[in-house]
Structure 1
Amino acid sequence: MYGWPIWVVTLAPFTNVLLELAWNPVVRHRTVVSGGQSIRMLEMDSIFTPLYLVVLLTGFIAYGVSVWSAHADWEGLLGQGLHRPFHWAWAFLSPACYVIGRSVVVRRAARPRGLAPVWLLAAAFVGTVIVACIKMATVFSAALGSMPT
């Protein structure tokens, strides 16, 4: 009941975390003169680096791979004799939705098995949130530290 496709569906959305760790935007400012006063403003386009675009593209690719793997997993469950597996198209809504629904159906059919993908999904989600919070704290710290007082 645990073929390679379910692990791909579970972990593919988290592939961006490593790229996001490598992405280090350089915060730049520019001075704008308005009404005789000089105002220092943050250049918002300074964060849009080539690596940022790679992170975005990787997210779309991971989404497509997740949907394709959900279909492969669904076919694998049918081949193993599960009569009504959770439908793969739920992965279009969210890969996590498919993983949770699939795990519930497999757990009912093959108790006590079936929940390992949900536990891995939860652990990956918590780890990603922690990493994202740390990364954003460093980015905001750099942005605020470079602003004049």
Structure 2
Amino acid sequence: MSAAPVAVEKVYSPWIWLVVVLPYVTLPLLFTFDLPGYLRGLDVSDPDASVQLQLQLFTSPALLLLSLSGWVLGAAVVLFSWLDWRWLVRAGVPQPFHWAFGFFSLLGYPVYAIGRAVVTRRRTGRGMAVLWVVIALFALSLVVSIVWAATLVLALVGTLPFS
């Protein structure tokens, strides 16, 4: 049997919204990465050119920016998870979802945001907006990723010699 919800005036800190939104900030950067351009330059008959092209691909500024920003934003999500947890404790939420689950954001999973929404709802009777925003952003990222993948497949098919 669970205890009755505690009356807390506010359950949404600015930190939780940063935790929810930051992982998706890099999504538009996918389209700055010119993989079709690299595919057009690929010459399968020349192994040296192929190796050089692969090196160019993995050292491209767009890919480096995407990777680096992903790690920096992941670390920021961990920090903001801690700040949100601390804010919830100060707001009087009993036993809020622990901030260390924010480390899962480095793997791409919004565990802290989902767990925080569920636990805050159980403790206070409020706080599910976080979960719905996470679901909406995840669905949006899925659609954007499918469009990006389809674009890459079409570009790859366009580079194949049909003779």
Matches within 5 A, 1:25-104: 25=35, 26=37, 27=39, 28-32=41-45, 43-45=53-55, 47-48=57-58, 49-94=60-105, 96-104=110-118
What is the letter of the counterpart of residue 146 of structure 2?
C
Report the CA distance between 1:108 and its aligned residue: 1.1
In 2 relative to 1, CA 139–47 (structure 1 residues): closer, same or farther, beyond 3 Å? farther
CA deviation digits over 1:43-68, x for unaligned, max 9?
A: 54454321111001111011001000
Structure (1 or 2) with the greater helix fraction: 2
> Quick one: distance in 1 between partners of 2:137 and 2:55?
30
SS of the residue corresponding to residue 29 of structure 1 reads: coil
Aligned to 1:37: none
CA deviation digits over 1:16-67, x for unaligned, max 9?
A: 1111122222112214279xxxxxx795445432111100111101100100
SS of the residue corresponding to residue 84 of structure 1 reads: coil
Ranges in structure 1 where 5+ consecutive residues have no aligned partner: 35-40
Higher mean alpha-carbon deviation, 15-24 vs 121-130, is at 15-24
> Quick one: distance in 2 between partners of 1:33 and 1:57?
32
Q: Kindly indicate whether the alpha-carbon contact (under 8 Å) linking 2:93 and 2:124 is maintained by their aligned counterparts in 1.
A: no
Q: Give the TM-score taking structure 1 as reference length.
A: 0.87
What is the letter of the counterpart of residue 27 of structure 2?
V
What is the letter of the counterpart of residue 8 of structure 1?
L
Number of equivalenced pairs: 143
CA deviation digits over 1:71-130, x for unaligned, max 9?
A: 00000000001121110001112351111111111101221x211111111110110011
What is the letter of the counterpart of residue 103 of structure 2?
F
> Quick one: distance in 2 between partners of 1:140 and 1:7?
34
Ranges in structure 2 where 5+ consecutive residues have no aligned partner: 1-10
1:126 is the counterpart of 2:139: yes
SS of the residue corresponding to residue 83 of structure 1 reads: coil
1:20 corresponds, among 24, 30, 40, to 30
What is the letter of the counterpart of residue 143 of structure 2?
I
1:145 is the counterpart of 2:158: yes
Q: Give the TM-score taking structure 2 as reference length.
A: 0.80
In 2 relative to 1, CA 33–6 (structure 1 residues): closer, same or farther, beyond 3 Å? closer
